[in-house]
């Protein structure tokens, strides 16, 4: 059954289903009625000769130029072709699909004045797999994602390029192969299609979806490292975290206790030490802060995917057309910068945990670099280097985009959000964080294998389930091997959201 959209009730789970699994999408009857009502209002205003930004005027600095009715179609086409200034590599197909969905959802609220047939053309492209080639660079994230969204609309006009059934081709050819007629834009429609935050929100929404899984994966990795480090579970006691009160901290601590239930390596107290280093003892505080940040961004994104971000906004019932600023990406720019910082910290502390496992001065009896025959073998020495490299790179990416602004359109658009840059950086940080945590999982797998060899006791049932999952892709290392396939395998398991379910199948649902 198709996902029904009305501009008000779209969920992140539905975004993922459409973007990654190709679910079909349709408009509700309520949405169709709202769209038609707004379009009728636009036609009425056009017939009256009303002066309305974007309908009968130019755009940006040209907003003081009146456009006669016989030139409005040319105005809309020129808007799209002149604004198609994107550069760089194409956005991933999943991000393009998410952006198409979000734009249709925003238009379906009935405040944009677009024709129903135009929305249905974009929905047909989404459902038939005509994916416009959208360069990832070129948006200021202020008057909407103008440049990248213009590339989306080009294909609707029979211009630009698209991917259809895995093949890149001219947009006109892709539309013909899919059996979708190209269109000519009517008054207001070009502006309605490109004046919005859907590119940044599409990229950022997918980051949020993966971040929600990664924050749990980070707890799993930390639990395995805590066992390898003969950790002290008392630091995770709920009483410690209740007296501070941060929800993310409390949730992470509860996860660690659940994951470590039954471990013979990580104990409530250890006879040979009083406390662990911060990267073990303070996991709830560190991971918890990132959790709270991720959940803040999730809430902001859930609002934005159901928001009207057009301009001008049409209110047929009030007989008003208001030129406002909902296209401005600042709410998303700040959120995605925050998300990037939160994910950077998950990677930062993960690399330090990896270091403790490979460093014989810090590993409580594990062999140097987790190899039994050091010297001729380097073991996990360079795996930690790789993690450190990506953590360092994340520190560069984590510099916020939202603190920058370069005025545009002859200073009419004199503060811009750079929100799409923030979302794109967040995607790069996410990829690095997934890889760094993958390295920790592979390292912990080796360390726990060595603990088993020592006969020190069983690991917890939940972490053992993840250990077994890793063993389906990698094997313990006796002698040096080509290492990157093992690291890549762990990264793939994380990206497939496979790690958390393996643990939850044993210990129950994690927070």
- Just list the catalytic residues: 53
The total number of residues shown for the chain amounts to 511
* 3-state secondary structure labels for all residues of 49-62: CCCCCCCCECCHHH
Helix, strand or coil, per DSSP, at residue 402: coil
Taking a C-beta distance cutoff of 8 angstroms, is the pair 147, 88 a contact? no
Neighbours of 392 (CB within 10 A): 12
Nearest to 227 by CA among 39, 383, 449: 449
Q: Which residues of 218-240 are buried (b: 16+ CB within 10 A; e: fewer)?
A: bbbbbbbbbbbbbbbbebbeeee
Nearest to 314 by CA among 9, 11, 46, 8: 46
Taking a C-beta distance cutoff of 8 angstroms, is the pair 366, 360 a contact? yes
Give rounded-to-5 percent helix, strand, coil for the chain: 60, 10, 35
Distance between CA atoms of residues 463 and 448, nearest Å: 10
Token look-up 């709202």 returns 34
Distance between CA atoms of residues 147 and 160, nearest Å: 13
Bridge partner residues of 314 (DSSP) = 321
Taking a C-beta distance cutoff of 8 angstroms, is the pair 144, 134 a contact? no
Alpha helices by DSSP H, listed for 85-145, are: 93-107, 116-128
Distance between CA atoms of residues 496 and 429, nearest Å: 17
Nearest to 99 by CA among 69, 139, 39: 139
Task: Report cis status (omega within 30 of 0) of the bond before 312.
Answer: yes
Q: How many CA atoms lie within 13 A of 43 on its CB side?
A: 9
Q: Give just the sign of the alpha carbon dihedral 312, 196, 129, 214.
A: negative
Ordered DSSP codes for 24-39: -EEE-HHHHHHHHHHH
């Amino acid at each position: 059954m198709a996902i029904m959209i009305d501009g008000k009730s779209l969920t992140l789970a539905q975004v993922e289903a459409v973007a990654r699994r190709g679910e079909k999408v349709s408009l509700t009857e309520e949405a169709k009625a709202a769209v038609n009502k707004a379009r009728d209002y636009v036609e009425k205003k056009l017939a009256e000769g009303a002066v309305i930004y974007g309908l009968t005027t130019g755009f940006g600095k040209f907003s003081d130029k009146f456009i006669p009715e016989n030139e409005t179609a040319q105005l809309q086409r020129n808007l799209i072709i002149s604004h198609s200034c994107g550069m760089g590599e194409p956005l991933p197909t999943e991000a393009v699909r998410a952006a198409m969905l979000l734009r249709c959802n925003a238009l379906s609220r009935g405040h944009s004045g677009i024709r129903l047939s135009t929305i249905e053309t974009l929905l047909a492209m989404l459902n038939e797999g005509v994916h416009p080639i959208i360069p990832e660079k070129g948006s200021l994230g202020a008057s909407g994602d103008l440049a990248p969204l213009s590339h989306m609309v080009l294909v609707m006009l029979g211009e630009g390029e698209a991917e259809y059934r895995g093949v890149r081709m001219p947009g006109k050819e892709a539309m013909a192969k899919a059996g979708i007629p190209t269109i000519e834009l009517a008054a207001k429609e070009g502006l309605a299609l490109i004046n919005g935050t859907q590119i940044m929100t599409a990229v950022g929404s997918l980051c949020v979806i993966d971040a929600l899984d990664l924050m749990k994966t980070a707890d799993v990795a930390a639990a395995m490292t805590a066992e390898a480090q003969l950790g002290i579970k008392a630091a995770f006691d709920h009483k410690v975290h209740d007296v501070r009160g941060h929800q993310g901290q409390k949730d992470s601590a509860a996860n660690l206790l659940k994951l470590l239930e039954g471990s013979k390596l990580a104990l409530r107290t250890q006879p040979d030490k009083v406390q662990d280093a911060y990267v073990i003892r303070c996991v709830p505080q560190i991971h918890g802060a990132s959790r709270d940040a991720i959940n803040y961004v999730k809430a902001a994104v859930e609002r934005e995917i159901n928001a009207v971000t057009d301009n001008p906004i049409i209110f047929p019932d009030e007989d008003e057309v208001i030129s406002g600023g909902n296209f401005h990406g600042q709410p998303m720019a700040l959120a995605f910068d925050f998300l990037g910082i939160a994910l950077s910290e998950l990677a930062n502390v993960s690399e330090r945990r990896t270091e403790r496992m490979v460093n014989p001065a810090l590993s409580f009896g594990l062999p140097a670099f987790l190899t039994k025959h050091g010297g001729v073998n380097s073991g996990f020495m360079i795996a930690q280097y790789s993690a450190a490299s990506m953590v360092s790179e994340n520190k560069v990416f984590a510099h916020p985009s939202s603190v920058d602004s370069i005025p545009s359109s002859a200073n009419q658009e004199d503060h811009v959000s750079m929100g799409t840059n923030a979302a794109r950086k967040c995607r790069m940080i996410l990829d690095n964080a997934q890889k760094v945590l993958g390295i920790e999982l592979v390292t912990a797998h080796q360390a726990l294998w060595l603990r088993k060899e020592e006969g020190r006791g069983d690991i917890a049932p939940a972490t053992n389930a993840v250990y077994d999952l890793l063993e389906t892709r990698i094997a313990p290392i006796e002698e040096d091997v080509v290492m990157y396939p093992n690291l890549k395998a762990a990264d793939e398991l994380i990206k497939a959201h496979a790690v958390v379910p393996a643990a939850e199948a044993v210990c129950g649902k994690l927070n």
